[in-house]
């Protein structure tokens, strides 16, 4: 049988292929543990004739019977949540009672409780009290919220309910008239009625259902009256994130209202997707965490997921005013006119110039030496001297436009990196016992020769200590915003020996300083993530090798 962590590894592999380093980062464990877990999972899969794991390059899962595998995983998953439901319903429950109800050994129950406490420490703690039994640290209000969210997310748990409970709750929800239905469905209301009734049958909660709904509505009204747009604008003075504050505040208030009405504590895991977004938008995710902490304290609520706040904020970003020069070589006027409309509608940051002849092309390229050049496939051979960045076939389609945008972003970032990442920016650093000490030694080196100010070094250390760490594969990316003349600065340290951040092995440190007035840094982090997520940095020992991997490949 798979343990909780191994089940999580398998869930990741069912969605995509991953390297051992990526899985270790997402699970906050070591590569060695991942290797051992994958071997055990592979044995479990082959023994049950469910599939196998190919580890020739990245870990890739082949499934023989999707339905059978899903069913087995659901049984493993429900075991943990069934135990949680029992603990939520009862004020106290003995270990012997859990053994009888769950048909598990005492050790298995103890392991499941440890897994629940580890995964949901931000929500509750399951503890034991001598002579009374096992209980959960949650208020009556939050106990009902947690149980309702659990039943809603895992409908198979409804099979454990007494006959008629669901039908009765559905009727009550249909008949109920309450402002809460402006923020949730009748089905969600019915599940809350069930959760309250289950707790009431086991013991007498110090709260009526009407009081429970009244508390929700009071919190919803409180966030509705809160001037979030003003708070966002004030707090953004530090982060300088380019967002439409008014639009963002409106969307966030609506999201928080829905979250307060019916918290979704047990939704399917999106940790890998959110981690990738955080690596691309680090300042937005950090800003979102600060906002969330303040809102939680203001509303006195158990938990609001800052990752969803960050997601809404990334969607509220405003476009940069900077224009990018794009030259299109297309001899056919009719086709170039159509493509011009398509480009200008899709790419509002592009300064487009069109050449209908070789002479005009040479003139434009001389006027705009750093421009991106795209050429119709039928006219490629006429451009012997020009460096072509993208070849299209007649009228640009959506895939062409997306690719051109990617070429623009990538080309500009590569040029910037090549400018700032000079041979003097590549340094070796003697590893210290801890990562924090190693980083401190590198910062002393940079402040000593005047390449960083002491204020910048302190800011970098403080952000790392506060948990604002970015790790891509074997690379740590300490980062801050500062008033600098260039869009960003990069300093690369090759470590003499790998050091650990939690369980992740770090072979190099790249310090990133971005211009506090720049809006282009998201392209930088996205580019660095794509380049470094699979690189073996232990084999990069000099500047030329680093630049070749980052720029040319």
Rounded to whole angstroms, the Cα distance separating 374 from 548 reads 25
Instruction: Count H helices and E strands in the chain, helices first.
Output: 22, 14
Measured in whole angstroms, how far is the alpha carbon of residue 167 from the centre of its chain? 39
Q: To 5 degrees, how large is the angle CA 48–CA 49–CA 52?
A: 105
Phi–psi pair at 345, nearest 5 degrees:
-75, -35
Q: What angle do CA 453, 457, 458 make, to 5 degrees?
A: 115
Is the separation of the CB atoms in 350 and 389 below 8 Å?
Answer: no
The answer to whether 49 and 25 are in contact (CB under 8 A) is no
**54 alpha-carbon distance from chain centroid:** 26
For 36, 326, 347, 411, 529, the CA distances from 404, given in Å and listed in that order, are 43, 10, 10, 10, 20
- Residue 451 phi/psi, 5° resolution? -85, -20
Q: Which long-range contacts (CB under 8 A, 24 or more apart) does 377-383 make?
A: 379/329, 379/330, 379/331, 382/358, 383/329, 383/358
User: What's the per-residue H, E or C state across 134-153?
Assistant: EEECCCHHHHHHHHHHHHHH
Question: Looking up tokens 């004030």, which residue turns up?
Answer: 234
Nearest to 236 by CA among 3, 481, 543, 509: 481
Domains of the chain in start order, with CATH, are 4-64 (1.10.10.10), 235-257+268-314 (no CATH), 324-416 (3.40.50.2300), 421-552 (3.40.930.10)
- Predicted pLDDT of residue 322: 56
Count of all residues that appear for the chain in the document:
553
Task: From 278, 338, 350, 339, select the one nearest 314 (Cα to Cα).
Answer: 278
Tell me the torsion sign for CA atoms 115, 119, 120, 121. Answer: positive
Output Rg (C-alpha) for the chain, integer angstroms.
Answer: 28
Q: Which residues contact 330 (CB under 8 A, 6 or more apart)?
A: 336, 339, 354, 355, 356, 375, 376, 379
Strand partners, 428: 494
- Chain centroid to CA 472: 13
Non-local CB neighbours of 115 within 8 Å, separated by 6+ positions: 3, 4, 80
What's the first-to-final CA gap in the chain, in angstroms? 43
Q: Sort strands 426-429 and 390-392 into parallel, antiparallel or unpaired.
A: unpaired
pLDDT in the model for residue 467: 82
Half-sphere exposure of residue 440, counting CA atoms within 13 Å on the CB side? 8
C-alpha 162/C-alpha 295 separation (Å) is 38
Query: Is pTM beyond 0.95 here?
Result: no
Structure tokens at 201: 């049958």
Cross-strand partners of 317: 243
Q: Which residues of the chain have pLDDT under 70?
A: 1, 268-270, 318-323, 348, 383-385, 518-521, 552-553
Q: What is the dihedral of CA 536, 538, 542, 544, to 10 degrees?
A: -10
One-character DSSP codes across 145-184: HHHHHHHHH-GGGGGGSPTTHHHHHHHHHHH---GGGGTS
- The candidate with the shortest Cα–Cα distance to 504, out of 58, 35, 36, 29, is 29
Residue 178 confidence (pLDDT): 93
pLDDT at position 385: 62
How far is residue 104's CA from residue 110's CA, in Å, rounded to a whole number? 10
- Residues contacting 238, CB < 8 A, separation 6+: none
Residue entry with tokens 């995964």: 119
Q: What are phi and psi of 104, to 5 degrees?
A: -120, 165
The pLDDT of residue 1 is 67
Q: Which SS3 state, helix, strand or coil, does residue 385 take?
A: coil
Of 392, 393, 388, 423, nearest to 494 by C-alpha is 423
């Amino acid at each position: 049988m798979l343990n909780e962590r191994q089940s999580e590894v398998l869930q990741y592999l069912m969605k995509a292929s991953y390297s051992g380093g990526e899985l270790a980062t997402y699970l906050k464990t070591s590569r060695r543990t991942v290797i051992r877990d994958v071997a055990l999972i592979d044995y479990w899969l082959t023994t049950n004739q469910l599939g196998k794991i190919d580890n020739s390059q990245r870990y890739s899962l082949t499934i023989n019977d999707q339905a059978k595998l899903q069913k087995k995983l659901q049984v493993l998953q429900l075991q943990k949540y069934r135990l949680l439901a029992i603990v939520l319903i009862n004020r106290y429950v003995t270990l012997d009672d859990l053994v009888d109800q769950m048909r598990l050994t005492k050790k298995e129950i103890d392991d499941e409780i440890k897994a629940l406490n580890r995964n949901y420490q931000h929500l509750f703690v399951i503890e034991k009290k001598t002579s009374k039994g096992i209980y959960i640290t949650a208020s009556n209000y939050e106990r009902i919220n947690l149980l309702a969210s659990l039943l809603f997310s895992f409908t198979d748990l409804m099979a454990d309910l007494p006959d008629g409970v669901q039908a009765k709750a559905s009727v009550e929800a249909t008949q109920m008239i309450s402002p809460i239905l402006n923020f949730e469905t009748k089905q969600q209301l019915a599940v809350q009625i069930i959760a309250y009734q289950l707790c009431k049958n086991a013991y007498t909660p110090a709260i009526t259902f009407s009081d429970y709904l009244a508390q929700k509505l009071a919190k919803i009204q409180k966030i509705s009256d809160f001037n979030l747009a003003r708070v966002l604008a004030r707090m953004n003075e530090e982060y300088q994130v380019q967002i439409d504050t008014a639009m963002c505040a409106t969307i966030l208030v609506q999201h928080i209202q829905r979250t307060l009405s019916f918290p979704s504590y047990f939704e399917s895991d999106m940790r890998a997707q959110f981690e990738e977004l955080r690596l691309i938008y680090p300042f937005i995710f950090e800003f979102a965490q600060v906002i969330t902490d303040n809102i939680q304290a203001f509303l006195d609520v158990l938990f609001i997921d800052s990752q969803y706040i960050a997601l809404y904020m990334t969607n509220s970003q405003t476009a940069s005013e900077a224009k990018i020069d794009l030259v299109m070589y297309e001899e056919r006027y009719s086709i170039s006119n159509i493509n011009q409309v398509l480009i200008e509608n899709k790419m509002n940051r592009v300064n487009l110039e069109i050449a209908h002849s070789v002479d005009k092309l040479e003139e434009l390229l001389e006027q705009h030496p750093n421009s991106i050049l795209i050429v119709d496939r039928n006219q490629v051979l006429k451009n012997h001297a020009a460096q072509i960045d993208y070849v299209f076939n007649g009228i640009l389609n959506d895939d062409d436009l997306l690719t051109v945008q990617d070429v623009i972003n990538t080309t500009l970032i590569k040029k910037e990196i090549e400018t700032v990442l000079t041979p003097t920016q590549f340094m070796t650093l003697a590893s210290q016992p801890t990562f924090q000490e190693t980083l401190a030694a590198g910062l002393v080196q940079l402040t000593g020769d005047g390449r960083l100010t002491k204020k910048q070094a302190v800011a970098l250390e403080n952000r790392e200590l506060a948990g604002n760490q970015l790790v891509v594969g074997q690379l740590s990316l300490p980062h801050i915003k500062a008033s600098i003349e260039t869009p960003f600065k990069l300093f690369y340290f090759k470590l003499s020996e790998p050091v650990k951040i939690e369980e992740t092995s770090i072979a190099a440190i790249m310090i990133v300083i971005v211009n506090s007035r720049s809006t282009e840094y998201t392209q930088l982090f996205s580019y660095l993530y794509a380049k470094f997520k699979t690189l073996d940095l232990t084999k990069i020992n000099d500047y030329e090798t680093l630049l070749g991997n980052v720029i040319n490949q």
